[in-house]
Structure 1
């Protein structure tokens, strides 16, 4: 049904996100969609690692040299005008490519099908998924297309005459609000889907069935919370007076019925693991905005090519020959040509290649080893470290552990990828005494500086119950200790380190939230922080950092 609706209004609905591994189901869905689209509609495929010249168009070097004047080449986006663009591995698209794709969609009016081939928490960029109406589930083999190409073509001709009333618009908006959807594009796409459904079924106005179908297909995958059940009104003491004959209750009754139908349909399609998925997605979004440094950095020597920039090929930088010639060709008529050269190239024409290099990440655990619950928190940290080290070989990540108790902090485990070394360093660690939180954060700050200088991306994870009582100079008292901890937190924020404060107290402490805000990070209340939950939380943070 999503393919049929998209074929009726491809430009208005924007496209679809297919989360499915390459296989028969995905190929069958794409073939159904292509069969339903107009025959003269251009269809293109986005190559991986495409450059700006091929995507947006630019100077055709061969034709320019042959004709002696600048000749512009058409880009992929312009060639897909009012067509269909299929994007493999959409989860790996960079923000720069997504910005060009979305801007090109508004300028050239094409539909996009994003093929999401990611695993677990990998997903296409939100800015792209927000513009695509459908996210069909291809976990099972799709059924046969319920409509023929002729019926879809007739629906496309009928679509401009389909008009929706105010009751439908209010019902869709109310459903989006009840499901926690804040994007304005989602209800707009749902309204277009309802109109396309009405045109497909031969109606001139959407009814409750069309609205329910649009909500299931468009708003269902975007839901952020369960709709609240309607409140039961208390029984009236006296029967209400009958309204005057001039007033009609048909219209309010239809509006209420439409809204109830839409909410019920939305509630029926929510997945069973919605809350767990939403929690993980929200954590990824929060951690990604907390850090200013990424796990990838720009390099001039090695890595994945991402384009060129003006510059001279010095200190190991590689010259981009074709881009250099493209910059020099338009100026040939204004430059005197040397006798020994066919093209006059000057210093300002030089272009050098740019690469994106993956940098290692280091998770720095800062564990509160004070108090009666110290042994339990240390056991959680040990389990999380062992779970994370199992993935360090493939991701080239490192793990370090700092414990603070008594009057100082101690580096138990320097940054390492060795599981044997980690177990040996964490075995038999004692606990108890005061809580010098500021000293632990000081040690984490010093280690994070060393890791950043070595070209790695640090992520600091502070496990504490938020009850600091020992200052850095040895004085006791909660106000002094908290003031010292906030002072170190401001240094962490000034240097833009990624911080995650895990509150392990039985009841969340207000100081943990204050500490996380002062660090520029996030606070995660986790009274029963098991090793699996803690490792998953840090794993998301390391991938988003």
Structure 2
């Protein structure tokens, strides 16, 4: 793992390069909780930026009109014509924007910010006017996410040159040398004249490919960082040290593959040089290809176990709506603001007075009657009304469906009980609700309705008996009915089915393996038709084809488990559940 002193030194270097070329480097993702270490880095950045550089802070739930710009309502009402007000991004043109709580940015807002980074402009087309305002900015995303599924949106991370994690740095380890502000100002003046050879670009691209970095933006950002490093050193040409530093800062947090280190080759025997020609001890005789030097530097900078964590975070970011509280959905009376829409006021809808007046303001001159010159009277029409849109996260309810029949109880029920108990505790930590449903004999029984009480869940699980037939279809039908009821109440259900898949009791209660398996597959297809998230855990001693067919019928991931203890089963289920079940 990178030592804290080295990590803080890298953070200082990234701040210096970003201060030289904020718009060219896109931004910095600063993952750290609020505290002295993060404040120290932000103060360092403010200290090295030129005094005239705009620096603006963007709240997490800022409105579009304040972020991008819009109609200046008081000026418009006074002038009787649309007057455009610049937003935060346009105000920060040529400077830096600090995004607070970036891990909570919505995909909609992340897309707008990504568009500004790509084009360097803000395009306004609303309230009866169209404007294009310059917005060449760099961004600092303050990421306070505590879990892997809480992170700055990928659309912004891909456009940021530096991803800095200050989590392992103590406050006492931040007393390092700083970069003089005069050097930053001189580097800014020199930057337009810095050039890089084709060999540098080829080496950066080759290194990115070797590290499994698919985005083309990464080597381009590394090239901009190398030019900034050369300018900061007072050079007008990128050299090996500049490219190595840039690759280490840009690539080490993006790597998804670790190329194997080449084994050392024994030196080939060299003939004795003639007496009149002394051996050449200059460094040029030991020169290596530039891409090898850069790759070795980046490999040394990648912390231990970082690749596994990055791959897990990438998997969690591909989900349409991650989060511990379930999927995000519209709400009428409560939730967080998510924009406005045109609508007629009605009970249960929240009128947005400011946006309503902003929609009506451009048309006041046309709506005034003859002889009416009172500018304080505002005429609002039905089409002007704007309603605040609200969003809220639904609560996730994990439904554990446990096979307590004789075939399962004789082999795996004890291990399954222990695994479910560990998973129940995991759901409790995520503030999810849990439900427990068991099937045995001829029917299924809801042992625990949806609850957040861990004590009740453990008590119900401990009293679960085993033995009897396997009414698998009845268990799946009961789980589907419970999931449907949860969805109707606005929740997000997720099913975890632990069974060996060997059904022998049909829906009507009659014994017969063929009919029971047909009913079970029919019930599984109903899960697929209802689009419920599900996971099938094969609890037999060896992979059971019947459980595989069941998972295929409901389009659910299939996880066969060898004989193991409860802890091993729980770890396997959590690994499969994380990218599959969370909505």
TM range (shorter): 0.7 to 0.9
Structure-2 change in CA distance of 1:373 and 1:524 (3 Å)? closer
Shift of 1:482: 6.8
Give the match for residue 32 of structure 2. 20
TM-superposition CA deviations, 1:462-494 (whole Å, max 9, x none) = 3345x545474567668x877655544443343
TM-superposition CA deviations, 1:94-147 (whole Å, max 9, x none) = 122212212222322200001112213221111112211112232323453453
Structure-2 change in CA distance of 1:254 and 1:8 (3 Å)? farther
Q: What is the aligned counterpart of 2:75 among 52, 63, 67?
A: 63
TM-superposition CA deviations, 1:502-541 (whole Å, max 9, x none) = 4556777788777656645545666556276378559957
Structure 1: segments with no counterpart, 5+ residues: 237-252
Q: Distance in 2 between matches of 1:361 and 1:258?
A: 51
Q: Distance in 2 between matches of 1:27 and 1:355?
A: 33
Q: What is the aligned counterpart of 1:446 among 469, 481, 489?
A: 481
Structure-2 change in CA distance of 1:543 and 1:430 (3 Å)? closer
Give the match for residue 324 of structure 1. 356
Shift of 1:448: 0.7
Give the match for residue 461 of structure 2. 426
Give the match for residue 143 of structure 2. 116
Structure-2 change in CA distance of 1:510 and 1:310 (3 Å)? farther
Give the match for residue 180 of structure 1. 212
Contact 1:362/1:457 (8 A) holds in 2: yes
TM-score by length of 1: 0.84
Give the match for residue 253 of structure 2. 221
Q: Distance in 1 between matches of 2:230 and 2:74?
A: 51
Give the match for residue 277 of structure 2. none
**Paired residue secondary structure (2:341):** strand
Give the match for residue 37 of structure 1. 49
The answer to which of 144-153 and 320-329 deviates more is 144-153
Shift of 1:337: 4.6
Q: Distance in 2 between matches of 1:97 and 1:348?
A: 26
**Paired residue secondary structure (1:297):** strand
Q: Distance in 1 between matches of 2:93 and 2:158?
A: 21
Shift of 1:85: 0.1
**Paired residue secondary structure (1:49):** coil
Q: Distance in 2 between matches of 1:117 and 1:98?
A: 16
Q: Distance in 1 between matches of 2:185 and 2:547?
A: 60
Q: Distance in 2 between matches of 1:28 and 1:74?
A: 31
Contact 2:401/2:496 (8 A) holds in 1: yes
Matches within 5 A, 1:32-431: 32-106=44-118, 107=121, 108-121=135-148, 122-138=150-166, 139-140=168-169, 141-230=173-262, 257-278=289-310, 280-285=312-317, 288=320, 294-335=326-367, 337=369, 342-369=377-404, 370-371=407-408, 372-389=411-428, 391=429, 395=431, 397-405=432-440, 408-431=443-466
TM-superposition CA deviations, 1:36-78 (whole Å, max 9, x none) = 2233221111123211111111111111121222212111111
Contact 1:57/1:72 (8 A) holds in 2: yes
Q: How large is the Cα RMSD of the aligned pairs?
A: 3.6
**Paired residue secondary structure (1:85):** strand
Shift of 1:194: 2.1
Contact 2:154/2:317 (8 A) holds in 1: no
Between the two proteins, the alignment pairs up a number of residues equal to 522
Q: Distance in 1 between matches of 2:544 and 2:202?
A: 41
Shift of 1:354: 1.9
**Paired residue secondary structure (2:85):** strand
Contact 2:420/2:570 (8 A) holds in 1: no
Contact 2:153/2:317 (8 A) holds in 1: no
Shift of 1:498: 2.5
The answer to which of 210-219 and 405-414 deviates more is 405-414
Q: Distance in 2 between matches of 1:410 and 1:286?
A: 36
